[in-house]
Amino acid sequence: MNQSVDQAAEAAPQSPAAETAADAAAAASPGSTGGPAPEKLLFLTVFPSIMLPMFLAVADQTIVATALPTIASDLGEIQRASWVVVSYLIANTIAAPVYGRLGDTFGRRPMMFMALGIFMVGSVLCALSPNIEWLTAFRVLQGFGGGGLMTLSQALIGEAVPPRERGRYQGYLAGVSVSSSTFGPVAGGYLTQAFGWQSIFLVNVPLGLVAMLLVLRLASRPADRRRTTFDIPGLVLFIMFVSPVILALEQLQQMRTSTVPMALGLLAFGIISLVALLWQESRSTSPLIPPRLFREPSIWRSDGLAACHGAALVSLITFLPIYLRAVRGASPAETGLMLLPLTFGIGVGSMITGQIVTRTGRTAVFPSIGLPAATLGLFLLAFWTPHLSVEVLPWAWCAIAICMGTVMGVVQLTVQSVAGPRRLGTGAAMVQFSRSVGAAFGTALVAAILFAVLASSDRETAGLFGTIIEQGPDAIATLAPARQVIVHAEIAEAFRSALLTIATFTGIATLLAWTMPLRRI
């Protein structure tokens, strides 16, 4: 009976315009009274309730990354320390579409409570872990909670805020996301040094309880109970696709010959699982990832934009510190300060874009302008970075980041508008999934190209590279002056190739933005 109801619900797709109108009508009544809330009251009700869960989701990953050396030293088995990060990433990526689907069916506010509860329980168990194996297992549990925080936050914006106002809120959320990424390493270092690595997990408990109280302030909305079945085969195949692909990309980033066969095997298994997943979703009456959404040009282009944006931005944040250390000799503290303009620029670009989208209703025009400018900036930096001082470099990155800040808010708004109110959660989840996979693939590809160029230029330079990252340029001080110049030039050439690869990501994103059908709401 449920399957027939699901099939009937799926068989009556609305046009994007009709769903946008329905979306606007649903969002126009944030309370039970049915009338629109004043703008200030809406902001005070919605934004804090959604900001803190998103803050927890983003900050947790950067806080743990900072504390990872201490965790590995305390628990031992340093070679397995990366499991702590990878296990969370896999669980987070898998959980995103699950929460999107369940939120569409059972209501997003109840699912947010569930996600926060799982996240807090996982955090406490992580703090109590006696060894790296148990910590890895409990990070999976924590990731299953964290995967819902970002997805449901985005979907709740679409549920509670009128379409024309969402651009402003997406800008605010982008600012929160960037602030969390910047705050995370600082907080992680302080908490670990002052209270031990367990504190980075325990701090999630009081913050999570406050987040629950804030979510209570959101209006409870009726769920779409017409779709009560769940696509278990689709979820299993999705896990069989995501897990090996992320593990393979993590293996490839290590750039060791011994890891290549295992990585290729995992990738092959993931591709086979993807084919099976697509077949399953095409025949399911209640698919985890509805194929109908991907037949909408604006949605698949938006997901592609999110993937390319994630690949470019995460690659920049990952490899710029390595460049500053290996080529410019910057200390970790100096590197952190020099990266602040980059993260600040993303937040500024996102908030400015959100304000203009709210005022004008125009969407795709902003990434259509911002991404070509970012691509040009990356291309110029690939050749001019050696000639720029360390005082000028951060502001060049800031300018590029402002241009890249035009993307994610527009992507989320486009997907929410086209998916309609019944598919808000699923649409938001697929954007988050696309960004995560794009970031993992992008960093793996940039790492592969960086080390391949180093290896092809000089085997000795490739061997010295790890030592240079640890010790800075002083690691080659014993070499002859002429040899030092050659080593610096070869490393700079490798980073030029990395920047050109990142520029390729933004170039592909530019084409997607230029061809986006939905350009105004």
Cα–Cα dist 318/311, whole Å: 10
**pLDDT: which is higher, 260 or 139:** 139
Cα–Cα dist 287/273, whole Å: 16
Asked if residues 424 and 299 have their Cβ atoms less than 8 Å apart, the reply is no
Least confident of 110-114, 175-179, 199-203, 304-308: 175-179
Least confident of 219-228, 358-367, 372-381, 502-511: 219-228
Q: For 143-165, what is the mean pLDDT?
A: 83
- Residue ranges of the alpha helices (H) in 128-231? 132-160, 163-195, 199-202, 204-215
Residues of the chain with pLDDT > 90, as a percent, come to 21
Which one, of 237, 276, 226, lies nearest residue 3 by Cα?
226
Residues 6+ apart with CB under 8 A from 316: 342, 397, 502
**pLDDT: which is higher, 494 or 460:** 494
Q: Average pLDDT of the chain?
A: 80
Residue 43 confidence (pLDDT): 77
Q: Is the pLDDT of residue 159 over 70?
A: yes
Least confident of 229-243, 268-282, 319-333, 468-482: 468-482
Least confident of 161-170, 200-209, 341-350: 161-170
pLDDT confidence of 126, banded at 50, 70, 90? very high
Residue 337 confidence (pLDDT): 76
Q: For 269-280, what is the mean pLDDT?
A: 90
Phi first, then psi: what are they for 520, rounded to 5°? -155, 145
pTM, to two decimals: 0.76
Which amino acid is located at 407 in the chain?
V
Q: Is the pLDDT of residue 21 over 70?
A: no
Is 520 strand, coil or helix?
A: strand
**CA dist list (Å): 364 to 153, 308, 350, 412:** 22, 15, 13, 11
pLDDT confidence of 464, banded at 50, 70, 90? low
Phi first, then psi: what are they for 128, rounded to 5°? -90, 0
**pLDDT: which is higher, 22 or 361:** 361
**Structure token pair of residue 62:** 């950067």
Q: Write the DSSP symbol of residue 362.
A: B
Long-range Cβ contact pairs of 470-473 (< 8 A, separation 24 or more): 472/325, 472/326, 472/329, 472/330, 472/331, 473/326, 473/327, 473/329
pLDDT in tens, 59-101: 887 788 767 777 877 877 655 666 787 788 888 888 888 888 8
Residue 475 confidence (pLDDT): 64
Can you give the length of the chain in residues? 521
Least confident of 72-81, 98-107, 152-161, 295-304: 72-81
Q: Is the pLDDT of residue 50 over 80?
A: yes
**pLDDT: which is higher, 408 or 177:** 408
Asked if residues 137 and 199 have their Cβ atoms less than 8 Å apart, the reply is no
Asked if residues 147 and 118 have their Cβ atoms less than 8 Å apart, the reply is no
Asked if residues 310 and 439 have their Cβ atoms less than 8 Å apart, the reply is yes
Asked if residues 324 and 453 have their Cβ atoms less than 8 Å apart, the reply is no
Residue 517 confidence (pLDDT): 92
Residue 5 confidence (pLDDT): 40
